[in-house]
Structure 1
Amino acid sequence: MRIGFIGLGRMGKPMARNLLRAGFALTVRDVSPGPVQELTEVGAEEATSPAEVAERCDVVLASLPDVATTEAVFLGPDGVVSRSRPGQVLVDHSTIGPATARKVAEAASKKGAAFLDAPVSGGVERAADGTLTMMVGGDSEAFQKVLPVFRAMGKDVRRVGDVGAGCVVKLVNQLLVGVNVVAVAEATALGAMAGVDLPAMFELLRTSWGASTMLERSVPRFLARDFSPAAPIRLLRKDLGLVQELGEQVSARLLLARAAQEVFGEARAMGLEESDITSVLLALEQGDVE
């Protein structure tokens, strides 16, 4: 079974590298030559277009930055679906909305191919060590077929329903990420402005009900003032936009998601769009400007 991987960015490149380590035959495609060269030097083959990846591979995976790129890669004139065939499985690991996933799945089904939406969570670190969480939507038979492929990249891999369900779970996760990182930053700014010892405060919070994954991730960055972009604000703002779109579609009240998006908007206005999501602290440290 030959695997194709399109999109070798922060997440895609380490995910693709883990497929090589697991022994899969791999064909890769990216608009940037650098990551392609890195992987071809360790055993991957290069394709010149998404369509060529589809021609050469039994399973095609993609990790892409936004909805527009996903639609272009899968549905464009030289896209994956243009050369898809019966029995093939197409997978998108990107963070997109469920409507986009269903659109791609419908096009793939006309060629006899299956489509799975399989967004991931865990960041660059867990992408590198192959322990990502993967939430998958789509046909159960197709899921079982590619499960060994998924397990080369992820530790907790689960099918959560039909096409689009994986996207919904990922957007729920991104809502929690956005709200939590803003809450941790707001709490940190409050503690600092009130004059408490931050390291001592953080140690107590770690064993209190306020503990969270985002607290654990944020604390070292806050203390070191290290906002290098492992997870840039730009991408989380995009995800929170998709969360709000989904909320409108299902008539959900998303008060906290909107509030978090507003704070990230303030950070963007400060020029922090490419900084890590924890840099939202810098916006909150300005205090109440009203």
Structure 2
Amino acid sequence: MTRIGFLGLGIMGKAMALNLVKAGFEVTVWNRNPSKCADLVAQGAKQADSPKELAANCDISFAMVADPEAALAICLGPDGVAAGIGEGRGYVDMSTVDDSTSQAIAQAITEAGGRFLEAPVSGTKKPAEDGTLVILAAGDKSLYDDALPAFEVMGKMSPYLGEVGQGAKMKLVVNMIMGGMLSIFSEGMALGLKSGLDAQQLSDVLDAGAMANPMFKVKGPMLLAEDYSTSFPLKHMQKDLRLALALGDKLDLALPTAAITNEAFKQARKAGYADEDIAAVYKTVK
């Protein structure tokens, strides 16, 4: 049985690691706040004292952390993954980062003798719990093949996208579109309610037409109930929009709608909603 490591036990990582434990994998976990490992250890996981120790004792190590800074921090340095990876072992970073960060991590891992795969995911807390994420993998093909049994536990789809950077770009495009959809949905709901439309009828009409989609179906009731329980923190969506715009700058591509969406999410962060669900962008509209 492949020995699996998992670094980062936040909203997403904890659910993903737990599914691997329940599937019968031998799993070792690490988190910057060690207390977050307790639930996984109670379910049968082992606990490592550092990313280096985890990588040195696992065949494939997965990471799911918040942003490029955190992704670099757990990989580099004397106690980082690269210091422990060794010859032939694999490192799969499932965090949402920009392609430059992903390529820097790939270089550190390969120079240390390891194999690297980026594999950011599309999906939030519920898909992570249900094992129905979309996993966007790119990098070392042999590691992709070896990691596939774990991907099949964590997700419903895991296409191989080619060289390192392609997974990161795919994820940024997906989240940029999702942020834009949620922003205009919030404005539409606010306009409808303020003009006296019935909220349920508005939701039913949207759900019956060409704009019907799972996100509106999930986020609509959250807006109406003003329940912003976090499945995807608003601050992380704003970070992804910022990274998508930076990619557009690098490619000399104008993204005016994404830029406006980013400003809406920045306004929501400034208003104090950073740690609430992405649906909280509605609060700055209504």
TM over 0.5, shorter chain: yes
User: Counterpart of 1:35?
Assistant: 36
Aligned counterparts, 1:223-242, within 5 A: 223-242=224-243
**TM-score, structure 1 as length reference:** 0.95
**Following the alignment from structure 2 to structure 1, what is the Cα–Cα distance between the partners of residues 77 and 212?**
45
What per-residue deviation string (whole Å, max 9, x for no partner) do you get for residues 34-90 of structure 1? 321111111111100000001111101100011111101011221000122221110
**Following the alignment from structure 2 to structure 1, what is the Cα–Cα distance between the partners of residues 59 and 101?**
22
What per-residue deviation string (whole Å, max 9, x for no partner) do you get for residues 7-43 of structure 1? 0110000100111111111111012233211111111
Partner SS state of residue 155, structure 1:
strand
**Following the alignment from structure 1 to structure 2, what is the Cα–Cα distance between the partners of residues 83 and 222?**
46
Q: Amino acid of the residue matched to residue 59 of structure 1? A: I
Aligned counterparts, 1:36-75, within 5 A: 36-75=37-76
User: Counterpart of 2:113?
Assistant: 112
Partner SS state of residue 94, structure 1:
coil
Partner SS state of residue 95, structure 2:
coil
Say yes or no: does 1:126 pair with 2:127. yes
Q: Amino acid of the residue matched to residue 101 of structure 2? A: T
Tell me how far 1:269 sits from its aligned partner: 2.3
User: Counterpart of 2:12?
Assistant: 11
**8 Å CA contact retained: 1:184, 1:214:** no
Partner SS state of residue 273, structure 2:
coil
Q: Amino acid of the residue matched to residue 109 of structure 2? A: A
User: Counterpart of 1:288?
Assistant: none
Tell me how far 1:212 sits from its aligned partner: 2.7
**TM-score, structure 2 as length reference:** 0.97
**Following the alignment from structure 2 to structure 1, what is the Cα–Cα distance between the partners of residues 112 and 266?**
42
Aligned counterparts, 1:102-251, within 5 A: 102-251=103-252
Tell me how far 1:229 sits from its aligned partner: 1.9
Provide runs of 4+ in structure 1 moved above 3 Å. Answer: none
Identity %: 38
Gaps of 5+ in 2: none
Tell me how far 1:202 sits from its aligned partner: 0.8
Partner SS state of residue 53, structure 2:
helix
**8 Å CA contact retained: 1:184, 1:218:** no
**Following the alignment from structure 1 to structure 2, what is the Cα–Cα distance between the partners of residues 200 and 256?**
28
Q: Amino acid of the residue matched to residue 82 of structure 1? A: A
Q: Amino acid of the residue matched to residue 84 of structure 1? A: I
Q: Amino acid of the residue matched to residue 50 of structure 1? A: P
Partner SS state of residue 11, structure 2:
coil
User: Counterpart of 1:256?
Assistant: 257
**Following the alignment from structure 1 to structure 2, what is the Cα–Cα distance between the partners of residues 173 and 214?**
13
What per-residue deviation string (whole Å, max 9, x for no partner) do you get for residues 136-175 of structure 1? 0112222111111111111111111111111111001110
User: Counterpart of 1:99?
Assistant: 100
**Following the alignment from structure 1 to structure 2, what is the Cα–Cα distance between the partners of residues 64 and 226?**
25
**8 Å CA contact retained: 1:135, 1:158:** yes
* Cα RMSD for the two superposed structures: 1.1
Tell me how far 1:211 sits from its aligned partner: 2.1
**Following the alignment from structure 1 to structure 2, what is the Cα–Cα distance between the partners of residues 207 and 76?**
53
**Following the alignment from structure 1 to structure 2, what is the Cα–Cα distance between the partners of residues 173 and 254?**
14
User: Counterpart of 2:88?
Assistant: 87
Partner SS state of residue 159, structure 2:
strand
**Following the alignment from structure 1 to structure 2, what is the Cα–Cα distance between the partners of residues 82 and 112?**
10
Deviates more, 1:50-59 or 1:265-274: 265-274
What per-residue deviation string (whole Å, max 9, x for no partner) do you get for residues 172-192 of structure 1? 111011101001101101111
**Following the alignment from structure 2 to structure 1, what is the Cα–Cα distance between the partners of residues 4 and 114?**
15
Q: Amino acid of the residue matched to residue 103 of structure 1? A: A
**Following the alignment from structure 2 to structure 1, what is the Cα–Cα distance between the partners of residues 275 and 25?**
34
